[in-house]
Chain A
């Protein structure tokens, strides 16, 4: 039975009602055990309003490969001109609105909050334009401004069968506020999405992002992220492999200092045979920073020949920093290769001494060892976006 098309306003109103009833997640919710949202709960937030178009808020005229979001609200989406890429408001697309409403996990308060105050969403639809016409990356630039504002960007990315897209997504800006972007990423058979993200918001902002990924037969999702900004910053990714042969990479580097909180949460549902998922998460924590990586991999009974790997490593630069890892493997198929590993450590004193004994200063020696710690995840980053992501890591390290 085809689903009845529902309108966007109804979806947001229902989400608002759910959020009003349920409030923010509490630490007794298993998925939020390590992440204390009190600071957010106590904030007085007003949803972002459509900014008056000033020269400051207007994206560059010639940017044909850029969507700028001011406090989550897209600007000048009609200017984008990438071959095979169509951008449209979500509110006029009832089929995709319904798809989004269906995809949102029930009882997910953050998703409800994101939807609750979204003025509209954006649809990014990508058609297959043939192998030799690979489009340049589409940049999604999220700019946050002002104090006491919550930002609610809602985006549906639809990559058609056989199509290919690279997204460079950046979140930055200052002030006191909360960003809650919600993305549904749907990949058709054989489609590819290369999704690189730099989360580099200011120290007084909070970020709670949710990405929902749906993979059809043979589709490939490559998600690379540097989470280096914000006070409380959580990035959650849920991947549903409902058709055979899908493949997902999730690479993340998280960096925290002072009293910051970093939360990388993922859930991968292998619901069809021959799926592959590779997760690599490396974090560096200084000061009193805290982090959690919770990765759930669920392999259904009929998802035979699944290959699921998860590796997390944390480097603590201070004795007061704290890292938690919570791998969860739920495997109901018998012919699978799933593995996970986690390490948490400090700068190795023997290695530091070895470098120093060669005349290398403490600072340079630490730098060597920090970069060495990141080598494996940096190698795993998608080639075209690697340099762009490394800039964010370098900027964080330089702040020392």
Chain B
């Protein structure tokens, strides 16, 4: 059974149709990359998968582990194993980082019938995971994403992913805003989490990220449709020729 199956997905924001029939199947252990011009619907797809309100599925289905998630709210999808690393992580002034991380981890644990995480043990787990991603202790004490630099926000997304251990991770332009060293650290972070049971969908503009997180499949999204799929060579082709040829074909 595929891990994530996107079937003829049409979705609108407000009254505006954006996704126009997307088909995509991700099996456990696979890494898929989506590339595409600005405004082609990549983030919209990510939000629709994550269950954001206001993004209406007008046709088609999304199945996680064979079950449709369309009736599930964002929090239920997350507890079922879906994770979205945001292109633009949201600042939460007044929400302490540690209590946020603990609430997220506990929500998942309770859903799985496990006990809440031990307070002190959790702080240690977070510190260690943060250190591996080059996140300073001081950042952990601040309000979520408040006063973080662009790159710090992206690392913090991957920290959350590391703590939540999702079965299906969607990374929306996690590479943008990262310096070369950070790109390597974050990619190593993702690769370390990756296992045979997990699927990853990487949204990116740059083939450079795909040197680190090596995709099994690459898809080109244009005007809300997958206009071409291939292997890693497709990413290289895009880098050379741009999207012109693909969008015309659409």
Contacts and interface: CB of A to CB of B under 8 A. Distances in A.
A376 B94 CA distance: 8
A357 B169 CA distance: 12
Nearest to A348: B90
Contact of B73 (A354, A356, A368, A373): A356
B75 A360 contact: yes
A279 to B, nearest CB: 20
A359 B79 contact: yes
Contacts of B104: 358-360
A357 B49 CA distance: 10
Interface residues of B, number: 29
Interface string A336-348: 0000000000000
Nearest to A376: B94
A357 B103 contact: no
B53 A353 contact: yes
A197 to B, nearest CB: 24
Interface string A140-162: 00000000000000000000000
B78 A358 contact: yes
A365 interface: yes
A358 B107 contact: yes
Contact of B75 (A361, A375, A376): A361
Nearest to B54: A349
B206 interface: no
B92 A351 contact: yes
A372 B94 contact: yes
Interface residues of A, number: 23
Contacts of B236: none
B75 A373 contact: no
A126 to B, nearest CB: 36
Given A357-B78, A357-B84, A372 B93 contact: yes
Contacts of B75: 356-362, 365
A357 B74 contact: yes
B1 to A, nearest CB: 23
A358 B75 CA distance: 6
B108 A368 contact: no
B141 interface: no
A371 B53 CA distance: 23
A142 to B, nearest CB: 32
A364 interface: yes
B89 interface: yes
Q: Which of A350, A358, A362, A376 has the most CB of B within 10 A?
A: A358
A368 B90 CA distance: 14
B107 A364 contact: yes
Contacts of B95: 355, 368-369, 371-372
Interface string B10-35: 00000000000000000000000000
B50 interface: yes
Interface in B74-125: 74-75, 78-79, 83-84, 86, 89-90, 92-95, 99-100, 103-104, 107-108, 111
Nearest to A374: B94
B164 A358 contact: yes
Contact of A354 (B83, B89, B107): B89
B160 interface: yes
B228 interface: no
B132 interface: no
B136 interface: no
A354 B53 CA distance: 11
Contacts of B164: 358-359
11 contacts: A354-B89, A355-B92, A355-B100, A356-B78, A357-B75, A359-B75, A359-B78, A359-B107, A359-B111, A361-B107, A368-B100
Sort A-B residue pairs by CB-CB distance and give the 10 closest, nearest first: A372-B94, A359-B78, A375-B94, A358-B104, A354-B90, A356-B74, A359-B107, A356-B75, A359-B79, A372-B95
Given A351-B92, A359-B78, 20 more contacts: A349-B54, A351-B90, A353-B74, A355-B95, A356-B73, A357-B51, A357-B84, A357-B86, A358-B78, A358-B100, A358-B160, A359-B79, A359-B111, A360-B103, A360-B107, A361-B107, A362-B73, A368-B100, A372-B93, A374-B94
